């Protein structure tokens, strides 16, 4: 039930020491060190410490017009990909003396707009955004604002702004090429029905790999799952494919979530991977450990993605320019795609 204690300000220290606030400010910020007597500096520092002084960042920000804060908006914080990404971004930002404040748009357009506004109101120095679906107009509006930003993981190809993303096309093509090299010709694709560019690039990579190998595209082997309630869709998609007269020998899942749900179903049905069907997917999670076969998958360079996005943003803040980065995925080959 203690009364609210007032925080110590520069003024308090100045009074205590018997100098002006200006001097205190100079000392505590290590400015004009040549012009300040050692003893006074020492005294100021020690009283600041004694009085437990901490800079009021709000006041500093108002004057300097900098907050040393980056805003991070991820699409879904409950997705391990994003929580890892957030962590790397935080670390990289901290190394450059920035704090990250972050929030999740939960793949929701309205929430995304709110968050952008909240962050702008708080005068963040810059934004890192993994944009939710259909938020292109929001990003376009952001371009007209004063605040630097970088997209990450997802982007809009016709929007000229900075971003860091996986080269999804080449990653997916690599994955499917691998399946082809392993002797599979009937290769199914399970992906989301979406306007997301990055997801559709995965499909394009799949198609490209088939075409270059001269394998005809079979529409029955391509299934697009509704994002709203994917679980039953995935089950049905896999079931349908397995029931085809010419069933695929291999499946490419375009996201980890699709893969997990697909595997759960395959296991329920007692279908042996890779003997009856070979599998390649995206990303790793601790869940994969629970299936008996170690998965072949595309590993995204999450750390690098976070680091680059942060670095580019900070560069942007200090000196305006845009930069687009495509990072390569790495195909990690494991049992799930290799038949002996």
Partner DNA sequence: AACTTTTGTTTAATCGATTAACCATTATTA
Partner DNA sequence: TAATAATGGTTAATCGATTAAACAAAAGTT
When the beta carbons of 318 and 330 are compared against its own copies, the nearer one is 318
91, 97, 103, 104 alpha-carbon torsion, rounded to 10°: -40
213 Cβ neighbours under 8 A, 6+ residues apart: 177, 180, 185
Distance CA 153, CA 199 (A): 10
When the beta carbons of 56 and 134 are compared against its own copies, the nearer one is 56
Only segment of 77-85, 212-220, 235-243, 323-331 that touches its own copies (CB under 8 A): 77-85
CB of residue 126 vs DNA: minimum separation in angstroms? Answer: 18
CB 154 within 8 A of CB 75: yes
Does 120 participate in binding DNA (rule CB under 7 A)? no
Only segment of 12-20, 164-172, 205-213, 246-254 that touches DNA (CB under 7 A): 12-20
For residue 303, give the 3-state DSSP assignment. Answer: helix
β-pairing verdict for 149-152 and 222-226: unpaired
Of 15, 16, 19, 159, which one interacts with DNA (CB under 7 A)?
19
For residue 4, give the 3-state DSSP assignment. Answer: coil
Q: What is the DSSP letter of 251?
A: E
Distance CA 186, CA 40 (A): 80
Does 122 participate in binding its own copies (rule CB under 8 A)? yes
Does 226 participate in binding DNA (rule CB under 7 A)? no
Of 95, 96, 244, 290, which one interacts with its own copies (CB under 8 A)?
290
- CA quadruple 100, 102, 107, 113: dihedral sign: negative
CB of residue 25 vs its own copies: minimum separation in angstroms? Answer: 15
Does 95 participate in binding its own copies (rule CB under 8 A)? no
- The closest alpha carbon to 254, from 209, 292, 204, 302, belongs to 204
Footprint (CB under 8 A) of its own copies, residues 294-333? 320-322
When the beta carbons of 44 and 312 are compared against DNA, the nearer one is 44
Only segment of 20-28, 168-176, 259-267, 270-278 that touches its own copies (CB under 8 A): 259-267
- The option from its own copies, DNA, none interacting with 21 (CB < 5 to 8 A, set by class) reads DNA
What 26-35 contacts at long range (C-beta under 8 Å, 24+ apart), as own/partner pairs, is 28/53, 28/55
Size of the site for DNA (CB under 7 A): 32
Write the CA distances from 258 to 110, 192, 279, integer angstroms: 26, 8, 12
For residue 306, give the 3-state DSSP assignment. Answer: helix
Does 20 participate in binding DNA (rule CB under 7 A)? yes
Interface ranges with DNA (CB under 7 A): 6-7, 9-11, 18-23, 25-26, 28-29, 31-32, 34-37, 40-41, 53, 55-56, 59-60, 62-65
Interface ranges with its own copies (CB under 8 A): 1-7, 54-59, 61-62, 67, 69, 77-78, 80, 83-84, 86-87, 90, 99-104, 106, 117-118, 120-123, 145-146, 260, 263-264, 267, 286-287, 289-291, 320-322
């Amino acid at each position: 039930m203690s009364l609210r204690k007032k925080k110590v300000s520069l003024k308090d220290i100045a009074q205590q020491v018997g100098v002006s606030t200006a001097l205190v400010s100079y000392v505590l910020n290590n400015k004009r060190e040549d012009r300040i007597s050692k003893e006074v500096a020492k005294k100021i520092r020690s009283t600041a410490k004694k009085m437990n002084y901490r800079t009021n960042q709000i006041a500093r920000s108002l004057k300097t017009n900098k907050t040393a804060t980056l805003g991070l908006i991820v699409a879904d914080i409950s997705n391990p990909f994003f929580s890892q990404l957030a962590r790397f971004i935080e670390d990289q930002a901290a190394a450059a003396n920035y704090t990250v404040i972050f929030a999740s748009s939960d793949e929701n357009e309205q929430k995304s707009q709110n968050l952008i506004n909240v962050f702008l109101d708080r005068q963040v120095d810059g934004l890192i955004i993994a944009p939710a679906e259909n938020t292109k107009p929001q990003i376009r509006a952001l371009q007209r604002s004063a605040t630097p930003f970088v997209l990450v993981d997802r982007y809009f190809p016709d929007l000229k702004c900075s971003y860091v993303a996986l080269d999804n096309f080449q990653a997916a093509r690599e994955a499917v090429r691998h399946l082809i090299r392993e002797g599979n010709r009937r290769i199914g694709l399970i992906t989301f029905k979406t306007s997301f560019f990055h997801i559709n690039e995965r499909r394009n990579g799949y198609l490209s790999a088939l075409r270059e190998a001269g394998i005809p595209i079979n529409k029955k082997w391509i299934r697009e799952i509704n994002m709203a309630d994917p679980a039953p869709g995935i089950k049905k998609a896999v079931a349908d494919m397995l029931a085809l007269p010419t069933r695929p020998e291999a499946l490419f899942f375009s996201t980890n979530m699709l893969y997990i749900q697909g595997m759960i179903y395959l296991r329920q049905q007692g279908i042996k991977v890779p003997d009856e069907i070979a599998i390649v997917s995206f990303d790793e999670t601790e869940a994969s450990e629970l299936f008996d076969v170690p998965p072949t998958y595309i590993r995204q360079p999450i750390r690098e993605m976070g680091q680059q996005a942060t670095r580019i943003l900070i560069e942007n803040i200090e000196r305006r320019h845009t930069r687009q980065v495509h990072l390569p995925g790495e195909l990690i080959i494991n049992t799930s795609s290799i038949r002996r």
